[in-house]
Amino acid sequence: MSAHTIFLEELERDALTELVNIGVSRAASSLRKMVGEQVLLSVPAVEVMTREGAAVLIRERESGELVAVRQDFQGVFSGRALLIFPETNSMALVHAVTGGALSVDEAAEMENEALAETGNVVLNSCLATMANMLQQPLTMSLPEVLRGDGASLFTLSDENADGGVVLFLYINFAINDRDIRGYIAMLMDLPSLQALKTLINDFIERVAGDVG
Amino acid sequence: MTDLAGPATRHREGGASADLDALRALAGPMLDALAGAGVALTVTDPRQPDDPIVFVNGAFEVLTGYEAREAVGRNCRFLQTTQTDAATLAKLTADLVSSGAASADLLNQRRDGALFWNRISITTLRDASGSPAFRLATQVDVSVEYQDAAVGDQLGVNQRRLIEAKERLRLAQRVAGAAGAWEWDIPSGRLIADARFADLYRLDPVEAAEGLPTSAFFEGVHPSDRMRLKIAIAGALNGAEVFSREYRLISGGELRWVSARGRTYLDDAEAPARFTGVLVDITEQKKVEERLRIAQTAGGVGSFEYLSGFGTAEVSEAFCRLLGLQPASSLPVRTINSVVHPDDPPLIAGRDGHHEVGPAFQEFRIRRADTGEERWLAARGEYQPAAAGGLSFIGVVYDVTATKETEARLRALTQALEVRVETSTQELDRVWKLSRDLLSITDTNCVYRAVNPAWEKLLGYSAVDLVGTAMGQLVHPDDLAQALEKAAGLRHGEPLADFDCRVRTRDGDYRWINWTALPEGDAVYAVGRDITQRKLLEDQLRQSQKMEAVGQLTGGLAHDFNNMLTGIMGGVDMVRRRIAEGRIADIDRFLEAAMQSGQRAAALTHRLLAFSRRQTLDSRPLDVGALAESMGDLLLRTLGEQIQLRIAADQDLWPALADDNQLESAILNLAINARDAMPTGGRLTISSHNVTLPAEALVHSDRAEPGDYVEVRVSDTGSGMPPDVLEKVFDPFFTTKPLGQGTGLGLSMIYGFVQQSRGHVRIESRQGLGTTIHLYLPRHRGEIADQATNDAMNAGAGSGETVLVIEDDPSVRLLVVQVLEELGYQAIETESGRDAMPILQSNRHIDLLISDVGLPGLNGRQLADIARERRPDLPILFMTGYAEQAADQSAFLAARMEIIAKPFAIADLAHRIGAILHKRGGS
Amino acid sequence: MGTTVLIVDDSKLARIVVGKAIAALQPDWNRLEASGADEALALLDCQAIDVVVLDFNMPGRDGLELAEELRGRFPNMPIAIATANVQDEIIARAREAGATFIPKPVTEDGMRGFISGAALRLRSAAQ
């Protein structure tokens, strides 16, 4: 069996998937408002794997260059959230979010800035909603735009890897009628995972009481 | 420049000429400059009806291929095609009306039919009063810019189609009542569900429709699934959009798997308001999936499914494992193919939708994505035309590294053998003794001179047993002909590689051996490797593929059936409502609709049973010639005027033994195929002959035996079939017709019918010359009974005779009893053998027993035997939907027993009952 | 003298979007932009500003800190915090600082309540 069973019980995994589902739905709703088009989501995948494994997972799906907006979060649990899409989609996304507000030239000029703000809105919506569900505050860093292949997005230069095992969550999204698709991904290291486990179990208890 | 450039002016008409003068007055020298600038230019006159073209320049003629005289007078839209984007056109028109200037890229068509992207820029010239006088449009071919975009668009289209298809299926399920629906009102905490949902959950349907506490959603859910369901629903209630869960429901000791899919809708304040979804019973699907999964994991078989045009393929977990990729349900084709060794063909070809249709097999090397290890894989699958256009490639992969390594070792060994025979007897000896493969040396007459010890280990023969005997004696009879052919090749100095045959062991078992042999001088050196295990695996694989096909077929059929059932249930329901409301004036059309759906369903089951050779055939002596003759009128109408029809029969044609209805249907099907092969007319000949078939003619038949047959020959002068199509025509679901125009069951159904009748089918076809199909039906020895008495029988003539009915299905029972009573019979109604037995064993008078064949407990046939013990003359009529034993009637029925196939028309049932009782009365 | 609104956000795109929403609701208002807290404070020192809309997540001082400081200096100024960080905690802190919380992405609808409230407050203060 895969490694996640060692770290998360089946119910915990389900609950985490749902939390991500709730967060990402909110993020999709934000993105929908920004681009004025329907945003389609996949069911979230939750895996415990090495950073390299996560990079491989994305690289197997996307062989070209990638663009990502990265935001780190800190609190009872910490980690990194990424909005990832193929570089070839980048300008299309910028056009979609700037819509009528900017001319084509203007949009091109502020490509990075627009991507950062888009990532900021999407990732913040997602993380804040999850924090609310878990009833624990999180602080979010400023968004940063990265370019490169899958491997470079997940390697941390400022942290030393603790065996490199991370909790990796990802969701595919696609914007209807535009050829834009990508991923929302989250990485959490092991100490965070322990804290998260506790919060998830609180959530499960609330659910067991609440629903039905 | 003083004149408008190009040849256009030569073709302009009088009216246009006047226009142009006016235009030149307005536009000044700019017009001439533009016209000569090499840019395609059109001028239209919006004051005239439909804004016609009044001028085009030479560059326009070059760009579009239309000459000026063909273009002038028409609206510019003649360049558009059905693919031209309507929204772009609408915007272009709107821009023109609002500002007088517009620009757009339109997909246009040249005179030769070629499509190109035309970047059109239009300006309006206004007259002194400010109203539009002329419109000037420049046109530039910008197709190059769209080449990449076109590919992307096509991809989008394909994906949309797939999504639409899935959506349609989902809707169909819902309409057909297979799915239950719920709506969870989040603020009020009420759950409203439809009757199907209530049924699956064992809830009171009325209460469910009116609203229940939401806790009802969790009642009856298997305890192990309940918490997970709660968590998933908590997600939905808190705004998660996607809800999808499979879980078990337990009710009344019964366990059912259901799949629930739902969606949460937000209110204006973005708070979750409603959580709705559909529930589908997937118990059967789960069982099949589980079996398939076990079959696949056991064999280390990974499966994949690819639709051309897509960048990704659907894959199984085992597939990912075999390639060393992270488990996923879909993978980009590029990723899959990049694992394959660069010198080997890609695993998935046909990405552009062009690939030969049919089975595909290949062996190739991969470098595992995770470990970098090189492995040999084999892929077996089939390229098929896909429903949404393009191609599908569905197949399986499995690891053959071990086999390949053995092969490589063998090659090395063979080479070593050649060298070492000359150099070192000692080394040869070692190889000879230690090899686990069969090594042998024979003379040029293929008589063994020496065999190595592996022969004894593997097959049980020592050198003493074999030396001096000829090769081939141990070969399985079925493989012998081929083996002798290969041996002949060896004698002529041709090396032998990769020949598989079965070899008998001393114990009488057979093992599959793969042979490599090399003639050298006056000897033949041979190496044989045991591949029995691989053959077994291949068989298992074929079996698992068959199961996959069956699974797919079942899904498709369920869909068709659900639609038909919807027609029937809907019609009956409407009638019930109308009757309840007293509006019975037009209930006929609902009944008619229900009846038609029912007949379509009956036809479908019939075709299926015929295909699986399990239909209930009513074989009886038959004058085939007369039957064909009687179809003349029907065929003439079917074939149309362009096709000449000739029906002929040998004089003194033998009677045949077959089911007349099935034969009629077979002939009709063949005639329709023939008609479709002769779209421009031709000749169709149906002739009947006496023939005697020797055993050689029947090698491909599984049930026919040498002897006398009546042949029905259907030949056309149509387009014929190429050999590759000819090979497959009897495959189930094979069809040359476009998708949706036929299930492909036609020829395989005929094949099924003839085989089941112990006959034989042969097909001949030459491309461009026509096709002839020969149906051989077994000869009946004896006279054909005169059926006139049967036909003259009056159906509605009961006079109080007593009929015992045994039928476990209450609605069929109700129907039969009703018919009996209306016809003036007295019916005794029972639902099983247990109920019927006391009556049969009593002294009560019974004139006829009507029984279902498939009953709980004792079946109908067993009951009949028991009944006959006390009442040897009791006539018995069986009713059957499908019963395996009843498929061959002559074996199933004893004297005075008859069978009627469900579904039957009431009139047919009445007719049969009347006939049986009348016969009895007459005897 | 007209009403002046200051939009503080490190993202130019966000400033454009917020500016567009305000222009649609109050076409007559002057709009000023600043890309951070320091720039905003410098503007406030040298000219009269009636309304501010602050981003929360900015380099240097964040929007809430700035809001708290402004509240001290301008007790009656309508202040809004616009952010996609919809955490309950952030919303509560915005409320404590007397600022209106506006979820990002900012839309005309999302802005309407704050802008009309601010307009009303400014009118009554002027009377």
CATH number at B194 reads 3.30.450.20
Interface list for A 152-211 with B (CB within 8 A): 177, 179, 204, 207-208, 210-211
Q: Do A211 and B214 touch (CB under 8 A)?
A: yes
Q: Rounded distance, CA A37 to CA C104, Å?
A: 17
A&B contacts, CB < 8 Å: 85
Q: Which residue of A lies nearest to C82 if distances are taken between CA atoms? A: A121
Q: Are residues B662 and B606 both part of a single domain?
A: no
Q: Which chain C residues are closer than 8 Å to A128 by Cβ?
A: 84-87, 90
Q: Quote the pLDDT of residue B740.
A: 34
Which whole number is the average pLDDT over B198-208? 86
The number of domains in chain B is: 7
C partners (3+ CB pairs within 8 A) are A
Q: Rounded distance, CA B452 to CA B539, Å?
A: 30
The number of domains in chain A is: 1
Q: What angle in degrees, to the nearest 10, is found between the helix axes of B746-756 and B660-677? A: 150
Question: Phi and psi dihedrals of B213, rounded to 5?
Answer: -60, 145
Q: Do B241 and A21 touch (CB under 8 A)?
A: yes
pLDDT tens-digit map of B143-176: 766 654 444 454 444 444 444 444 444 444 444 4
Q: Quote the pLDDT of residue B288.
A: 61
Q: Are residues B424 and B511 both part of a single domain?
A: yes
Do residues A72 and A141 lie in contact, with contact meaning Cβ atoms separated by under 8 Å? yes
Select from C13, C20, C104 the Cβ nearest to the Cβ of A114: C13
Question: Cβ of C12 under 8 Å from any chain A Cβ?
Answer: yes
- pLDDT reading at B922 higher than 80: no
Q: Quote the pLDDT of residue B151.
A: 44
Q: Quote the pLDDT of residue C94.
A: 93
**pLDDT range class, residue B7, cuts 50, 70, 90:** very low
B partners (3+ CB pairs within 8 A) are A
Q: Considering the domain boundaries, does residue B149 fall inside one?
A: no
Domain ranges, ordered by start, for chain C? 4-126
Backbone CA torsion sign across B225, A202, A16, A93: positive
Runs of H (alpha helix) within B800-905: 810-823, 833-841, 860-870, 889-892
Which whole number is the average pLDDT over B589-598? 82
Which whole number is the average pLDDT over C92-108? 92
Q: Quote the pLDDT of residue A62.
A: 73
Q: Quote the pLDDT of residue B169.
A: 44
**pLDDT range class, residue B597, cuts 50, 70, 90:** confident
Give the CATH number, domain containing residue A11. 3.40.1550.10
For chain B, give the number of residues.
923
Q: Rounded distance, CA A93 to CA A96, Å?
A: 5
Q: Are residues B589 and B482 both part of a single domain?
A: no
Q: Work out the angle at residue A175's Cα, subtended by the Cα atoms of residues A174 and A177, and round it to the nearest 5 degrees.
A: 120
- pLDDT reading at B421 higher than 60: no
Q: Quote the pLDDT of residue B484.
A: 85
- Domain boundaries, position B83: 8-141
Select from A14, A26, A56 the Cβ nearest to the Cβ of B232: A14
Work out the minimum CA distance from C124 to partner chain A, whole angstroms. Answer: 33
Q: Are residues B13 and B133 both part of a single domain?
A: yes
**Secondary structure (3-state) at B683:** strand
Work out the minimum CA distance from C76 to partner chain A, whole angstroms. Answer: 29
| Among B725-734, B859-868, C44-53, the range of highest mean pLDDT | C44-53
Q: Are residues B884 and B915 both part of a single domain?
A: yes
Q: Do C84 and A113 touch (CB under 8 A)?
A: no
Strands B643-649 and B682-693: parallel
Q: Do A60 and B331 touch (CB under 8 A)?
A: yes
Q: Which residue of B lies nearest to A23 if distances are taken between CA atoms? A: B240
Do residues B158 and B307 lie in contact, with contact meaning Cβ atoms separated by under 8 Å? yes
The owner of tokens 């918490």 is B227
Question: Phi and psi dihedrals of C56, rounded to 5?
Answer: -85, -50
A partners (3+ CB pairs within 8 A) are B, C
Which whole number is the average pLDDT over A150-168? 62
pLDDT tens-digit map of B366-387: 998 888 888 888 887 778 877 6
Q: Rounded distance, CA C126 to CA B82, Å?
A: 64
**Domain stops at, among B246, B281, B316:** B281
Q: Quote the pLDDT of residue B415.
A: 61
Q: Considering the domain boundaries, does residue B163 fall inside one?
A: no
Q: Considering the domain boundaries, does residue B594 fall inside one?
A: yes
Q: Considering the domain boundaries, does residue B74 fall inside one?
A: yes
Q: Rounded distance, CA B736 to CA B484, Å?
A: 39
**pLDDT range class, residue B292, cuts 50, 70, 90:** low
- pLDDT reading at B884 higher than 70: no
Q: Which residue of B lies nearest to A42 if distances are taken between CA atoms? A: B242
Q: Do A211 and B325 touch (CB under 8 A)?
A: no
Q: Considering the domain boundaries, does residue B786 fall inside one?
A: no
- pLDDT reading at B3 higher than 60: no
Tokens of B396: 């399986």
**pLDDT range class, residue B427, cuts 50, 70, 90:** low
**pLDDT range class, residue B8, cuts 50, 70, 90:** very low
Question: Measuring CA to CA, which residue among B360, B359, B385 is closest to residue B307?
Answer: B385
**pLDDT range class, residue C2, cuts 50, 70, 90:** confident
Which whole number is the average pLDDT over A71-88? 89
Q: Quote the pLDDT of residue B723.
A: 76
Which whole number is the average pLDDT over C60-75? 92
Q: Do B233 and A211 touch (CB under 8 A)?
A: yes
Q: Are residues B646 and B768 both part of a single domain?
A: yes
Between residues A83 and B540, the one the model is more confident about: A83
Which whole number is the average pLDDT over B30-39? 63
- Domain boundaries, position A21: 4-210
ipTM of the complex: 0.84
- pLDDT reading at A199 higher than 50: yes
Q: What is the DSSP letter of C97?
A: T
Q: Considering the domain boundaries, does residue B661 fall inside one?
A: yes
Q: What angle in degrees, to the nearest 10, is found between the helix axes of C12-25 and C108-126? A: 60
pLDDT tens-digit map of B325-342: 888 888 888 888 889 998
Q: Quote the pLDDT of residue B12.
A: 40
Work out the minimum CA distance from A62 to partner chain B, whole angstroms. Answer: 8
Q: Rounded distance, CA B916 to CA B875, Å?
A: 7
- pLDDT reading at B531 higher than 70: yes
Q: Considering the domain boundaries, does residue B311 fall inside one?
A: yes
Question: Measuring CA to CA, which residue among B289, B229, B231, B285 is closest to residue B260?
Answer: B229
Q: Quote the pLDDT of residue A3.
A: 39
Question: How buried is residue B830: exposed, middle or buried, by Cβ count under 10 Å (0-12/13-18/19+)?
Answer: buried
**Domain stops at, among B121, B141, B161:** B141
- Average pLDDT of every residue of chain B: 77
Q: Which chain A residues are closer than 8 Å to B235 by Cβ?
A: 17-19, 21-22
Which whole number is the average pLDDT over A66-77? 90
Q: Which residue of A lies nearest to C83 if distances are taken between CA atoms? A: A121
Q: Considering the domain boundaries, does residue B1 fall inside one?
A: no
Q: Quote the pLDDT of residue B796.
A: 52
What whole-number percentage of chain B has pLDDT above 90? 9
Q: Are residues B241 and B302 both part of a single domain?
A: no
Which whole number is the average pLDDT over C62-75? 92
Q: Are residues B417 and B328 both part of a single domain?
A: no
**pLDDT range class, residue A155, cuts 50, 70, 90:** low
Q: Quote the pLDDT of residue B654.
A: 92
Helix (H) or strand (E) holding B593: helix B587-611
Question: Phi and psi dihedrals of B641, rounded to 5?
Answer: -75, -25
**Secondary structure (3-state) at C103:** strand
Q: Which CATH number fits domain C4-126: 3.10.20.30, 3.40.109.10, 3.40.50.720, 3.40.50.2300?
A: 3.40.50.2300
Q: Which residue of C lies nearest to A34 if distances are taken between CA atoms? A: C105
pLDDT tens-digit map of B220-276: 899 888 988 999 999 999 888 878 888 999 877 788 888 888 888 888 777 888 898
The owner of tokens 């992207």 is B117
**Secondary structure (3-state) at C121:** helix
Q: Quote the pLDDT of residue B641.
A: 80
Question: Measuring CA to CA, which residue among B211, B176, B199 is closest to residue B256?
Answer: B199
Tokens of B473: 């004696």
Q: Do C58 and A131 touch (CB under 8 A)?
A: no
Q: Are residues B212 and B75 both part of a single domain?
A: no
- pLDDT reading at B729 higher than 50: yes
**Domain stops at, among B281, B316, B343:** B281
Work out the minimum CA distance from A125 to partner chain C, whole angstroms. Answer: 5
What whole-number percentage of chain B has pLDDT above 70? 77
Q: Which residue of C lies nearest to A33 if distances are taken between CA atoms? A: C105
- pLDDT reading at A7 higher than 80: no
Give the CATH number, domain containing residue B544. 1.10.287
Q: Quote the pLDDT of residue B737.
A: 46
Which whole number is the average pLDDT over B179-195? 86
